[in-house]
Amino acid sequence: MTKNKVALVTGGSRGIGRATAIELARGGFDLAINYASDGVAAEEARELARSAGRADIQIELLKADISDSVERAELLKGVKTK
């Protein structure tokens, strides 16, 4: 990701999480969108956010179950290295 503001959106593939990702993209953030299982919905969320954001927006999709402490730690580690 670039040196723009970055937001991690958990549950970002559907519902409130997806709406939040879209609004953050409109606000100029690059995004890390977390999802637990539905990769198709996550891709749709990425495309909606991309169309709402800057032309050079960076959006990563990160699959992880945040209720699992190991997966949560790996998710956060992945966001920090982007």
- The string of pLDDT tens digits covering residues 33-65 is 999 999 999 999 999 999 999 999 999 999 999
**DSSP E strand boundaries for 1-82:** 6-9, 30-35, 59-63
- pTM beyond 0.95: the answer is no
User: Is 11's pLDDT higher than 90?
Assistant: yes
Q: How far apart are CA 3 and CA 37, in angstroms?
A: 29
Cβ contact 67:73 at 8 Å: no
Q: How far apart are CA 78 and CA 62, in angstroms?
A: 8
pLDDT at 80: 74
Three-state DSSP class for residue 65: coil
pLDDT at 39: 96
Q: How far apart are CA 44 and CA 42, in angstroms?
A: 5
